[in-house]
Amino acid sequence: MMETDPNIIPQTTLSLEEMLKLGARHIDQLVDAQGRTYFDVYLTQPPEAVTDWADFIDLPARYWEAVALVEPVIASPVVAKDRLRSWLFRRFETDGLAYRPESPISAHAPELFDQSRLLYALDTWAMHVPGDVEVCQRITKMMDELLRRSTREGDYTYIEQIGLYFGGTLIRPALQAGLILNRPEWIDFAGRMGRGLIDHSDLIKPDGSFKGHVHGALSALAGTLAYAIVAGDAHLLERARTGFDYARSISTRFGFIPEMAQREDDLIACETCTLMDYLDVALLLARHVDPAYWDVVELAARNHLWESQIRDGAWIGTAGGDDEDGIIRSRLSDRIVGAFAGWSAPHCLLAYHEQFGPGWVHTKEMRPLYLGKNRAMQNCCAGAGMRAVYQVWSNSVTRVGDQVSVNLSLDRATPDVHVTSFLPFEGRVRMTVARDCDLRWRRPAYCGPEDVRVQTSEGSSVRFI
């Protein structure tokens, strides 16, 4: 396969490559000399970014994974890559799991959501650099320990207890690990975890509805759906699809996905992490189950996903002041450019002002760092946003044998075809075939077959299917 030539990336209405470039810039601007990320950004004067317990494993795993996704697309290195890896790999202990340290903001424990984000990152790096022996060893040790800690009952499995966020989010990366390293028992583990959620808990109701953190629910549904596709399990597939359709029912068509389902107060915001999972499920459904879901992907990607990336950081206030250990103030409004909104509204990057509750920190000394400040961003969404953009980008044009499919009318240059979209300013998409192939273009649902006009260079043949 030829590499995509960065010089032929079209620059028109919406460039996913530009979003990934901005994301890479953010990684290099925010990750500090130790390889630390900064979960919290506050609307203080001056604004502050403060490192938190999520920055031991969860966030650096997402940022490190984003590097593997972004670097080949933008064809330039992300400098913080080795620092992130070094920071993360120091968390591994002899049992193969990654532990937060005992500290004023964390307890020494191998928390399951942390393992899920790190396993996802390890999977991605194993695909990006197949010869990285250490990464493959880390996956093996982590998976073996997770299986050892799991409880098998009948046709299902769980670790400690059945959960969406704690446990359910492991399904997708565990399945991927099994596929990458050819370990059928890990694939079986993923299916058994999915069956636990669907058939042995009431976390996802038969009508697809669920309550609480939508990021956790959609992530677990993505894993369950991916397993169902791999294993040909019609029951799990239908239940996962029903769960996704419930998520659609509480979202907007342009991709505003609520952070919480059935929240009792009236605060509603969209966490970019949730939009990432939403696009992950929609892409799986579009590629393997029902092409109608491509429309769900395209609307969300070209609307709320694009709008959720920060391109001008002035809204958090004028940066100033000196940095301290674990606190960044300098150039902060510039450093957040390329990150993604933590709690967006349909019309702005921050839906409401909210602060941490008094239980967030356990020592009096740490309170001034975290309490009494309005939160502007949660940077879990930075890595998640880049993963979401990459997933859309990598699926916008696909090739199977000689058949090349333009699934999304978004700009993309591949060795087979260069797609330039003039939407929404003009109802026009230009596809330049770069080498001989059968080319298919997916007609968006809003465009009827009678509205399509095809203009080709002389001698080409076009047929409607």
- Closest to Zn ion by CB, 40 or 295: 40
Give the span between the Cα atoms of 432 and 76, in whole angstroms. 26
Choice between 174 and 273, CB closer to Zn ion = 273
Choices 142-150, 184-192, 356-364, 379-387; region in contact with Zn ion by CB under 5 A: 379-387
For the bound state, the minimum distance from the C-beta of residue 388 to Zn ion, rounded and expressed in Å, comes to: 11
Site string for Zn ion, 403-442 (x = CB under 5 A): ----------------------------------------
Range 134-153, binding Zn ion (CB under 5 A): none
Minimum distance, C-beta of residue 391 to Zn ion, in the bound complex (Å): 16
Contact region with Zn ion (CB under 5 A), list: 7-15, 268-276, 348-356, 405-413: 268-276
> What is the closest distance, in whole angstroms, from the C-beta atom of residue 342 to Zn ion in the complex?
6
Bridge partners of 309? 340
Q: What is the DSSP string of 190-243?
A: HHHHHHHHHHS-SSS-TTS---EEHHHHHHHHHHHHHHHHHHT-HHHHHHHHHH
Residue 273 beta carbon to Zn ion: minimum distance, rounded to whole angstroms: 3
271 in contact with Zn ion (CB under 5 A):
yes
- Smallest separation (angstroms) from Zn ion to the CB of 117: 11
Q: Which part of the chain contacts Zn ion (CB under 5 A), choosing from 185-193, 257-265, 362-370, 376-384?
A: 376-384
Residue closer to Zn ion, measured from CB, 113 or 293: 113
Residue 155 Cβ, how far from Zn ion at the closest point, in Å? 33
Number of residues that bind Zn ion (CB under 5 A): 4
CB 13 within 8 A of CB 407: no
Walk across the sheet containing 327-328 and list its strands. 327-328, 48-50, 40-42, 375-378
**CA-to-CA dists, residue 50 to 53, 66, 308, 395, 457, angstroms:** 10, 21, 21, 35, 56
Q: Which stretch binds Zn ion (CB under 5 A): 40-48, 161-169, 272-280, 300-308?
A: 272-280
**Residues contacting residue 35 through CB under 8 Å, at least 6 positions apart:** 60, 80, 83, 84, 85, 86, 87, 88
* Beta carbons within 8 Å of 330's beta carbon, 6+ residues apart: 319, 320, 321, 322, 323
- Distance of closest approach, residue 375 Cβ to Zn ion, in angstroms: 12
Residue among 286 and 380 whose Cβ is closer to Zn ion: 380
Inter-residue contact 222 to 172 (CB < 8 Å): yes
* Beta carbon nearer to Zn ion, 159 or 381: 381
The residue (of 229 and 380) whose beta carbon lies closer to Zn ion is 380
Scanning 249-257, 291-299, 373-381, 394-402 for contacts with Zn ion by CB under 5 A, the matching segment is 373-381
Our finding on whether 339 is near Zn ion (CB under 5 A) is no
CB closer to Zn ion out of 286 and 316:
316
Instruction: Compute the least distance from the CB of residue 280 to Zn ion, in Å.
Output: 14
Whether 89 and 98 have beta carbons less than 8 Å apart is answered as no
- Residue pair 355/371 in contact by the 8 Å Cβ criterion: yes
Residue span binding Zn ion (CB under 5 A) among the ranges 100-108, 150-158, 262-270, 374-382? 374-382
Q: How far is CA 168 from CA 65, 85, 109, 130, 203, in A?
A: 20, 25, 18, 27, 10
User: At closest approach, how far in Å is the CB of 384 from Zn ion?
Assistant: 5
**Interface with Zn ion, residue 66, by CB under 5 A:** no
- Stretch of residues binding Zn ion (CB under 5 A), selected from 47-55, 230-238, 255-263, 271-279: 271-279
Instruction: Name the segment binding Zn ion (CB under 5 A); options: 310-318, 381-389, 394-402, 429-437.
Output: 381-389
Do the beta carbons of residue 341 and residue 351 sit within 8 Å?
Answer: no
Asked whether position 119 contacts Zn ion by CB under 5 A, the answer is no
Part of the chain binding Zn ion (CB under 5 A), chosen from 59-67, 150-158, 378-386, 414-422? 378-386
Task: Give CA–CA dist 217/282, Å, rounded.
Answer: 14
The contacts of residue 70 (CB under 8 Å, 6+ apart) are: 20, 21, 23, 24, 27, 78, 386, 390
- 60 contacts 37 by C-beta, under 8 angstroms: yes
Residue entry with tokens 């500090």:
32
CA distance linking residue 218 with residue 382, whole number of Å: 18
Least Å distance, CB 307 to Zn ion, is 16
Indicate which single residue of 67, 237, 273, 276 sits in contact with Zn ion (rule: CB under 5 A). Answer: 273
Q: Is 380 in the site for Zn ion (CB under 5 A)?
A: yes
Query: What does the DSSP assignment read for 70-130?
Result: HHHHHTS--TTHHHHHHHHHTTB-TTS-B-BPSBTTB-SB--HHHHHHHHHHHHHHHHHST
- Of 68, 381, 413, 423, the residue at the interface with Zn ion (CB under 5 A) is 381
Q: Least Å distance between CB 274 and Zn ion?
A: 7
CB of 332 to Zn ion, least distance (A): 18
Q: What are the angstrom distances between the C-alpha of 283 and each of 11, 178, 276, 297?
A: 24, 20, 11, 7
Residues that bind Zn ion (CB under 5 A): 271, 273, 380-381
